Structure 1
Amino acid sequence: MRLRKATVLILLASIAALAVILTLASEYIVGAGFDELEVRYGERNLERAERLVRTEVAGIDNLTVDWATWDATYEFVVDRNEEYIRENIILETFLEQELNFIGVFNRAGEPVYALGAALETEELTAPPEGLLSRMEPGRVLSLDLDAEEVEPVKGLLLLEGGPFLVAVHPIVRSDGAGPPNGMLAMGKFVSDDMIARLADNLGLPAAWHRPDRPLPEAAQELVGSSRQTLLDFSEHDAGKGFVEVDDLDGAPALIVELTFDRDIHAQSHKTIRYFVIALVVSTLIFSMCVMLVIERRVLSRLDRLNRQVREVAKNPGSAPWVHLDGRDELAELAQGINTMLGEIVQAYTSLDRELTARRASETFLAQIFDAVKAGIILVDPVDFTVQDANSFALELMGRSREDVIGKKCHGFICPAEAGRCPVVDLGNTVDLSVRQLIAEGGGVVPILKSVNRVQRDGHELLLETFIDISEIQEAEDALKLSEEMYRAIFRNTGAASLIADMAGMITMVNEEFERLAGIQAADVELRYFWVDFFPQEDQRALLAMQRNADDLQESQHAKLTFNTANGEERFVRILVAKLPRVNVCVISLQDLTEQQQTETALRTIQQELEETVSSRTKELRDAVEELKEMDRLKSAFLSSASHELRTPLTSVLGYTKLIRKTLRRHFWPTGRRKEALAPIVQELESNFKIIEREGKRLTQIIDDLLDLNTIESGSMVWRDEVFDPAEVLDQAVRNIQPALQKREFVKCESTYPRSLGFVRMDRARLHQVVINLLDNAVKFTHQGTVALRASNKEAGWVEIRVEDSGVGIPKEELEAIFDKFYQTQSPDGLSDKPLGTGLGLTICRRIVERYHGRIWVESEPGRGSTFIVRLPMTEKDGKPLRNKSEDVGAA
């Protein structure tokens, strides 16, 4: 078979097999990957649904904590006053808070007052069936009020009326003081409205089922199994997911059903179809490219080799080389010819290279011989004639090469007498000594000479090398001069100093020491030890200082009494230093007698000052304690006042809704039909809206006061958990929409990844911070954009930014706006009426700093504002990503 035909057949078979394999693999790999992605999407939404149910439980728990830590509730357990019931446990409270049950119990678990409500019919009823029995001692809702730390209860129960969300807390005073006086329970049934809110948050259709009633066929295997979630993809167009929420006993209490489109499944089949089509097209293109490559790299080379072989056959002398790349049989033949010719050329080239290298080596050695900065002379040991000398030796002698080569070295360049050569005549192996080189004109040059025996072309020679030591001798002379100079400096230095050997014997003192000690140098040097001038009890320590200066190679110092020759005591500072490379120490003495007297006087003044400061400090401490007591009384007053204000406000709002509902039902239709009553109807409707709006505003003010007071008093209950902040941002964007609808020319943008990592904090408090910032941005923006952005680009931090194009903030107010009760002018600039309590940003800063974060604002008047919040990230298990020692302010 021809080579061209065989190549085409093999290529077509390989392409066909590859196409079949890739088509089958795409079905199993790509399709399975999309299916796994669809499962993860469903499981994530089921987890979010369960968290939203738990969030509803947390909302009831927050309300229960608020009522249970209230002096009025605490006193009601004891005196059971009717006023508490008339003002608080009324139908309006149930409707306002969407509750089905409120119960107050004493320490024995007996109900003091328990009442239920039917929200659909707006009627008060008995407590839900089966609920009170769960409150009995030892049951799931009972609390151990005698425990050192009472644990509250919150969760779900499956009652006859359906799944029930309940929270139970011990009743204490408003300041959190105990012991508990009883228990407070609140709860509500799972309703369609609650599931509708859950579906709105998820953006998916949702429904709920009781686990003890007939269930959809797909969800039946979830009950009784250990699984908490179940996904059903039996339908082609839509999938269903079921999540089971357990009650406080660990049994199933609620099953939430989610429905979602199978867009991912459809996309997978669409992707596979496109992939197969692209594979077929690319295979065809690849086949053509391969054929082109084979034609150029194989078949054309075959033709070229055939022509070259014929050319060599015609002209063997003129065309000895065959040029053909590749590794087939033809290339091997061409390589054999080239190898034979190459070996001949290589042998010739190797010989030429070796000869060139030898010449270069001789030239290099000759250059080294002349370039060495030391004299080198080769002498024949038989007749002592000079055989060669380098340029440095000739230059040092002041002679030319012709004047030296062939001359005898004795009396010419070597001062040794004939017959006294240290190496040849005296038998020394090496001559290493200081000699004199005889130069031109009879002059001599001091040198350090070395003589060795060497071999050259089988003959023994004496290799004499030497260096000029004229500069060394000059340096020795200069060193002696320097020593005399430093001795003079030491003698005349301003500090009393002495030099002692390592045994402590004084070898030299200066004039200042003579004046301090009152003794002459001749009477001290080599006669006294330097420690003799100090008290006997200090001498051992001084000798240890001298040893330490030697061992540690560090100067040692101390302050001691110095005894002069005439018996006078002086207080001196001692500095002992070991001189490097010599066994002597330098000891310097500084007279501190006058300085010590001054320090004693200053010490007396300092003691008197410390006594005065101590007295003033006690007065300040007493003032601080008084301020702390006033702050505690302020916190208690704010807590009590907030509860007392909230109670009548709840009644006002509740009765307002009832009156408005009654008037709408019975009076509005009649009033609108009568022309005389129509303006009155419109005015009453407007007044009711004002009452409701201002009531909600007053409720927000009370909530802000209560939140700030709870945070500052340390009684705030922080429910920390690890979660993705993106979930809270999604909820905040949805919750701010009603406020945006009132601003016709303001739009909201949100830009952040679907996942921002994890933070550990109270989810509700982060939502409070973001909503507060968004609400402020909408409030101070007439037209333009309010943007919510977030990122985790900086390692270890989540950054949330709320930007607006509103009126902006003056530079001098950028920090003051976070102070308590600080209020800016209304956004229209025409009214000085406050827009709130001035506590919102203060609460935001307290919450952010509670979790080691930071909040600040960047703004210019007329150009909008940007509020920035940075929070530390954690791992999924709650471990911090960032070292706690890092400065938050530097972030």
Structure 2
Amino acid sequence: MGESVLKTLVVEDDYQFKELITDILKQTGKLNYQIQHATTLKEAFELLDNNEAFDLAILDLHLPDSSGLETVQRLRAYNKELPILVLTGQREERFAQRALEAGAQEFLLKEEVLPGLLLRSMRYAVERKHTEERLKESEQRQKAILDSVQVGIFVIDPEGHTIVETNPAALAMIGKTREEVIGRICHEFVCPILEGKCPLDKTSKTVDRSERELICSDGSLLPILKTVATINLNGKKHFLESFLDITQIKEAQVFLEKSRQKLEQEVGKRTKELEKAKNQWESTFDAVPDLIMIVDQNFNIIRANQAVAAHLKTTPRLLVGQKCFQLLHESKSIPENCPHLQMLKDGAHHMAEMTEKSLNSDLLLTASPLKDSDGKVYASVHVARDISALKKAQRRLSEQVDFMRALVEAIPYPVYLKNTQGKFTDCNRAFAQMYGKEKSEILGLNSFDLAPQELADKHYQTDQALWKNRKSQIYEAKIISGKNKQLDVIINKAVFHDSDNNPLGIVGVVVDITERKRMAAQLIKAQRLDAIGQLAAGIAHEINTPTQYIHNNIEFLGEAFENVFGTAVSSPESNDDKPHENSTASSKNGNPVLCAKEDFQGLSIDIKDALDGCLEGIERISAIVSSMRYFSHPGTDHKAPIDVNNALEHAITVSRNEWKYYADVKTQLDQDLPYLEGYAAPLNQAILNLIVNAAQAISQVLGENPKEKGLIHIKTQRLGQTIEIKITDNGPGIPEEILPRIFDPFFTTKEVGKGTGQGLALVNAIVVEKHGGNIEVETEIGKGTSFIIQLPVE
């Protein structure tokens, strides 16, 4: 409802009464009432169907096409949001209650329609409807409260006394699970002696603070203080049974009983006073919970309802003739913002809020003029409504908003809000500082105002995807800061909604990971250098072996050539075709060398074998050096094509001294693998770590100087747009209890000094974070483990 216009639908078939309402509304002061009429319920439905946004409906219960409470029910069913003010000629208070239960927000007798009372009732109907809507929003909070309170609670279906809902406190008291309680008869747990003769046979009955016993799962009886009230649940009345463990407060039982008796006496006394004061007119007047007084021009009380008398602890009769400001405000002078004072000045309706310390209440005061037949104001209808709960809720809400705002400002991470149009509506100090701007300079901008086109396009695309699937997003991106520095960040975004679950905007949190990524790159480099250092001795040994037999072959070749050429020099007259029989020569070490033709032929074969051995050794050394150069290459900061099979072969060569004593390596490499777009140096490190881990796992099983070897099987294949690398060993396997932790940094099962716990953590970081891939582990105790790496081709 706006502050200046109230669109009102009047559903009334009595023309004169309709005109009366119209005249009253037109004579009001500040509020402008836009009125539409309907003489039947059908006409009202048609107006509502024409998208007329009414703030209030004034409804006659007796129409040509509908009569009685059915009229309220039909209108409420047709439009669940529209506030309804019921007009009728029936005075019965029970009838008024039934109208409210049928869906009306306010009830007014036709013959008692006064200008001030009508306006107050209209405003009350609208405000009550708004209150009902706010109550819906609090249902989720009520559920949280139900689960958090330390009082046991049962919600009971009155028809069969079966438990339909409970809370954790109740389950803890009786020692049962939720499944063991829901659907059971309440008397199985509470008040067993009353089973079959429960006093709560009607939903109109309640139990207030009654001592009972609760049956626990072990059969013991727990003394409790039980309260039963009636609530509406899913359109049906239920018993809300709450019980408190009073084992520790049993000593106060006598005091509580006396207090209860005193309370009953006081309630009885008040009830008798109310019954004596009732009459035909006051039955409606006194039913209103607001403090209502008729006040004349001299601020004297002409009449007051029972609510006023109750607040002032007196009777309505004794209030007549006294000054309203002296009683209500306990003041000797008239308050400057008194609505009755303002009404006397301009003859219009006025409203004001006041805090009354004497009543310990916040009040909403309204004064509506009463005029005589000449149009002269002679009094006002003075209404005071206790809005203490509303003001308290507003203060708490304001405090929560201030707390959340301070919390967001204190968070070191940049936080922002966007509306559905993609414009920034709020942000914290860290977000503004990231872009080198003041907060006021950012509000109203969008991503294209803060980021280059390419980066802004990505932000826009992720926002659109978020609006579509409504699921939170976490992704890595780049941002150009206010200092024109490129930052690597992780952005966490989600959609936030209003109370009707309509999307209002996007909230995002930005985490700067630039330094983290730099440190990760340094860690990978350091790990690679550490691995090179650890493998250096083994590689030296691998190079030394072919070097040794190259050296031996060259020595043999030197001796062979010396003997051959020495024989040739000592026999210059010899005929090549006819060698001297039994001719001999001496080798360098004194051994005779036969120089017959067939001896030269045998020697040439040995020389060729020696030369082949030298070439083989040189090729072996060249392969080791090539693999070492490939592995130790620092790589680049950007992705480049990688031959995965080639990387595996180099890793096998470099790590040979780690596995050759304990295992054989079998490869099954897909020769049709495409090149992988990635970072070569980190990927080589990850592959090497897994091969070395496999060799070490097998060595744990075989021990020192094994009589047999294990097996490391390495396989590659293409699966769609993914390259899969599978490295399998037949080691001991990984125990189930440590499997979830193997990729945690610094976690290791090796002895102190033999492992840092960084190997698999680094593999996970390289595969998942740096390449956007996936790593899985298949293991079986006593049979071995497989590490399966899946990398996207692009």
TM tier, smaller: under 0.3
Q: Which one scores higher on RCO, CA 8 angstroms, separation ≥ 6? A: 1
**Between Structure 1 and Structure 2, which shows a larger proportion of helix residues?**
1
Length-normalised TM-score, structure 1: 0.25
